């Protein structure tokens, strides 16, 4: 009995002194927080990339309205403008139309636009499309519901419910004095 106790004690001492698996244990302790941090950094970079791309696509598509080129195509709709923005959002591919909301409103002057917007909070569910005519002030707002993939970031970054972030872009301008009339409005 004493002999087996000595053998067990010797094995325990050898196990305590062994350093063969120390690196693997240390890596296992550090790996989870490291990979969560790495995923969070990549997720945040992706959100910034989509935000910047949406901003550029909105500005570029809105320029077509500002110059009257978009209105000159005839009976244009919100769907046509969404296609214009999605053509510039190659990052999203085919999912662009499902995620994109477009709101375009025309006003007679800047004061009217500021007054109207002060009374209304932007709601992507209540959009309209009104490209405006020559010399009218136009407000173009686009938004994308982007899914947050990193579990620990979702509570702090999601602002649209269901673990999604509402990424928005807004531009306001006065249409150039092009020839032609304003297309029909699709606003209530």
Spell out the domain ranges in the chain. 22-174
- What is the per-residue pLDDT for 167? 92
Question: 9: which 2 tokens?
Answer: 């004690």
- Ranges of residues in the chain whose predicted pLDDT is under 50: none
- What is the per-residue pLDDT for 42? 92
Question: 130: which 2 tokens?
Answer: 């009104």
- What is the per-residue pLDDT for 184? 61
- What is the per-residue pLDDT for 63? 95
Question: pTM of the full predicted structure?
Answer: 0.78
Can you tell me the distance from the alpha carbon of 100 to that of 113, in angstroms, rounded to the nearest whole number?
A: 23
- What is the per-residue pLDDT for 19? 67
- What is the per-residue pLDDT for 175? 92
pLDDT in tens, 77-110: 889 999 999 999 988 888 889 899 999 999 988 8
| 140 in Cβ contact with 65 (< 8 Å) | yes
């Amino acid at each position: 009995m004493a002999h087996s106790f000595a053998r067990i004690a010797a094995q325990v001492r050898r196990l305590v002194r062994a350093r063969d698996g120390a690196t693997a244990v240390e890596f296992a302790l550090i790996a989870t927080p490291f990979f969560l941090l790495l995923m969070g950094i990549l997720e945040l970079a992706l959100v910034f990339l989509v935000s910047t791309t949406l901003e550029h696509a909105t500005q570029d598509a809105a320029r077509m309205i500002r110059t009257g080129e978009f209105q000159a195509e005839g009976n244009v709709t919100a769907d046509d403008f969404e296609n214009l923005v999605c053509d510039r959002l190659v990052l999203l591919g085919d999912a662009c139309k499902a995620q994109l909301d477009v709101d375009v409103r025309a006003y007679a002057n800047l004061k009217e636009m500021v007054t109207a917007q002060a009374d209304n909070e932007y709601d992507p569910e209540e959009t309209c499309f009104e490209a405006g005519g020559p010399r009218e002030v136009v407000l173009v707002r686009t938004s994308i519901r982007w899914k947050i993939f990193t579990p620990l970031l979702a509570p702090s970054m999601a602002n649209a419910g269901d673990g999604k972030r509402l990424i928005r872009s807004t531009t306001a301008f006065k249409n150039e004095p092009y020839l032609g009339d304003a297309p029909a409005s699709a606003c209530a």
